[in-house]
């Protein structure tokens, strides 16, 4: 088998060197060629890397193997472990293809944001969060870039992604850059509010189709809705951003920024609850821009309001009851009915593809309200469905959206399908739903029987194996931390630990 070598290159020209036969050099770790799956779309400049089969010297070179990634143990359903590893393999293969840096490549901001949510599990191998800098610097600093941006008005979720990454890695230097030195998160929040269809930037990008209008954000390409729609997901995402910026600023000691964005969050929260909540349907809806009447189609777009902690607990309970209502959403997984055919109001939706990114956000939203059992059940059902589709496909490739039909027919698109098989598996199936490097805490909702857990879980400066069965939990760690299992706290010491 060929040696697989990956390299990270900081952008300087590098001399050639002889490469032994059977060695592959690549922009990021990849898999043996026989296990690679070629993608059709090359949507962004992931980082300045070089891809070569012969003749590339890298600044840092390391051998890749699975031992450098978190290793799940889940004997009750080995197929989900298989799905997990295939997701990593495809992620690396995609990253390799995206590393060539051709000028015709474009940044798809939503893709790189959601990618960072699973790259946090291997920040030493996949610098996923740093790909956001390829957006911050050209857009906010005017830095020249060979890449274009597919959509400037993509969902404003960067502060949420940065907060999740910071919690897992404790990367204080990045927070200092984002909130103090460059103030990228604050500037991006304001910049997003300034977008109009007339916005033009000095690099290729699609026309802006969103603008702030009154009590919301109007998507002007909703042509079948007259003057367009005020989108509940967008205003909720901005509220989520304000909440995350306030919390991050508090961590860095910036009291003024924390106060400013707490106030901005409260204002947006009030608008969403006042304008977008519908007591009759028990959820949030888009509004018709011409008269602010609700579009009573039930979609998971409303989950962004939950993720932003906007609904009261009673409202949140009604929303989860709706998600579990098979008359509104087909099946036991969080399907996303299409926004097409918006004239079908009063909850009459057609079955359509479920996007893993929205399902992930919806499951994380439930966790904000301590609805952990419901979140874990939805995640497990979703991954079972993804695995059934994965095994049925001749290519054994993953997809970024899936049909809710029982047969598991897949929408044939490429993109970033690894988020659910990696992150939901670790967080909601294995049950490690909170990992906090800043506080040195791992919370494990241990609800499966038999042997299960995870090895080589790295967060901050800590690397640990956490394995349990019906009788005991074994923990091996290089540094002490606190392990909370089903509400019971254990002080984990450096070295080997056993808890019964």
Greater pLDDT, 19 or 334 = 334
**Sign of the Cα pseudo-torsion (430, 433, 435, 439, in order):** negative
Read off the pLDDT of residues 92-114 as tens digits, 9 standing for 90 and up. Answer: 776 655 554 444 467 788 888 99
pLDDT of residue 67: 85
Within 8 A by CB and 6+ apart from 111, the residues are: 43, 44, 415, 416
User: What do you get for the CA distance between the two ends of the chain, in Å?
Assistant: 43
Greater pLDDT, 468 or 41 = 468
Measured CA angle at 308 (ends 304, 312), to 5 deg = 100
Read off the pLDDT of residues 50-73 as tens digits, 9 standing for 90 and up. Answer: 222 223 333 333 345 688 899 999
Count of C-beta atoms within a 10 Å radius of residue 414 = 18
Read off the pLDDT of residues 180-201 as tens digits, 9 standing for 90 and up. Answer: 999 999 999 999 999 999 999 8
pLDDT classification of 169: cutoffs 50, 70, 90: very high
- Which range is least confidently modeled, 36-45, 219-228, 274-283? 36-45
DSSP-derived secondary structure letter, 394: T
pLDDT of residue 327: 59
pLDDT of residue 164: 97
pLDDT of residue 331: 53
Read off the pLDDT of residues 427-452 as tens digits, 9 standing for 90 and up. Answer: 999 999 999 999 999 999 999 999 99
Res. 157: pLDDT tops 90: yes
For residue 444, the surrounding DSSP H or E stretch is strand 441-444
Measured CA angle at 47 (ends 177, 101), to 5 deg = 140
Res. 167: pLDDT tops 70: yes
SS3 label, residue 93 = helix
Q: Which residues pair with 442 in a beta bridge?
A: 435, 483
pLDDT of residue 148: 77
pLDDT of residue 421: 94
Read off the pLDDT of residues 273-298 as tens digits, 9 standing for 90 and up. Answer: 999 999 999 999 999 998 999 998 87
Residue tagged 């600044």 (tokens):
59
pLDDT of residue 320: 84
| pTM of the complete model | 0.83
Rounded to an integer, the average pLDDT of 387-408 is 68
Residue tagged 């056993």 (tokens):
498
What the chain holds in terms of domains, given with CATH numbers, is 3-429 (1.50.10.10), 430-500 (2.60.420)
pLDDT classification of 406: cutoffs 50, 70, 90: low
Res. 388: pLDDT tops 80: yes
Res. 22: pLDDT tops 70: no
pLDDT of residue 332: 58
Q: Across the chain, how many H-helices and E-strands are there? A: 13, 22
Residues 480/456, Cβ–Cβ less than 8 Å: no
Q: Which residues pair with 495 in a beta bridge?
A: 477
Rounded to an integer, the average pLDDT of 334-339 is 47
pLDDT of residue 226: 55
Res. 346: pLDDT tops 70: no
Residues 155/237, Cβ–Cβ less than 8 Å: yes
Locate 187 and state its tokens. 């500037």
pLDDT classification of 334: cutoffs 50, 70, 90: low
């Amino acid at each position: 088998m060929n040696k697989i070598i990956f390299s990270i290159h900081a952008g300087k020209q590098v001399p050639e060197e002889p490469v032994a036969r059977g060695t592959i050099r690549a922009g990021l770790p990849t898999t043996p060629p026989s296990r690679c799956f070629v993608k059709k779309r090359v949507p962004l400049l992931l980082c300045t890397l070089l891809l070569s089969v012969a003749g590339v010297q890298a600044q840092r070179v390391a051998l890749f193997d699975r031992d450098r990634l978190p290793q799940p143990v889940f004997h009750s359903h080995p197929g989900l472990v298989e799905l997990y590893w295939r997701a990593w393999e495809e992620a690396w293969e995609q990253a390799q293809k995206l590393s060539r840096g051709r000028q015709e490549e474009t940044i798809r901001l939503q893709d790189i944001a959601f990618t960072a949510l699973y790259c946090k599990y291997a920040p030493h191998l996949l610098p996923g969060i740093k790909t956001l800098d390829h957006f911050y610097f050209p857009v906010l600093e005017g830095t020249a870039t060979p890449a274009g941006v597919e959509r400037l008005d993509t969902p404003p979720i960067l502060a949420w992604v940065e907060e999740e990454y910071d919690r897992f890695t404790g990367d204080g230097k990045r927070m200092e850059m984002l909130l103090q030195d460059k103030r990228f998160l604050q500037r991006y929040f304001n910049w997003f509010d300034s977008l109009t269809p007339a916005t033009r930037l000095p690099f290729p990008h699609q026309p802006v189709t969103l603008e702030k209008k009154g009590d919301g954000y109007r998507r002007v390409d909703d042509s079948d809705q007259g003057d367009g729609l005020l989108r509940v997901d967008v205003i909720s995402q901005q509220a989520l951003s304000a909440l995350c910026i306030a919390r991050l600023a508090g961590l860095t000691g910036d009291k003024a920024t924390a106060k400013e964005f707490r106030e901005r969050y409260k204002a947006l929260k009030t608008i969403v609850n006042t304008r977008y909540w519908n007591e009759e349907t028990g959820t949030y809806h888009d509004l018709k821009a011409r008269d602010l009447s609700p579009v009573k189609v039930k979609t998971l777009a409303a989950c962004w309001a939950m993720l932003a902690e906007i609904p009261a607990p009673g409202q949140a309970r009604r929303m989860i009851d709706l998600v579990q209502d098979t008359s509104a959403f087909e099946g036991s997984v969080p399907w996303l009915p299409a926004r097409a055919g918006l004239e079908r109001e009063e909850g009459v939706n057609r079955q359509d593809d479920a996007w893993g990114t929205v399902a992930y956000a919806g499951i994380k939203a439930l966790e904000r309200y301590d609805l952990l059992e419901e979140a874990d059940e939805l995640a497990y059902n979703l991954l079972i469905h993804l695995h059934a589709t994965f095994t049925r496909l001749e290519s054994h490739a993953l997809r970024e959206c899936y049909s809710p039909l029982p047969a598991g027919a897949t929408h044939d698109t490429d993109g970033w399908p690894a988020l659910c098989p990696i992150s939901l598996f670790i967080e909601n199936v294995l049950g490690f739903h909170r990992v906090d490097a800043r506080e040195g805490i791992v919370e494990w909702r241990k609800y499966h029987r038999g042997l299960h857990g995870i090895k080589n879980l790295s967060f901050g400066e800590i690397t640990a194996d956490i394995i349990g069965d019906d009788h005991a939990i074994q923990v091996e760690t290089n540094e002490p931390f606190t392990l909370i299992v089903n509400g019971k706290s254990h002080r984990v010491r450096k070295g080997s630990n056993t808890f019964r």
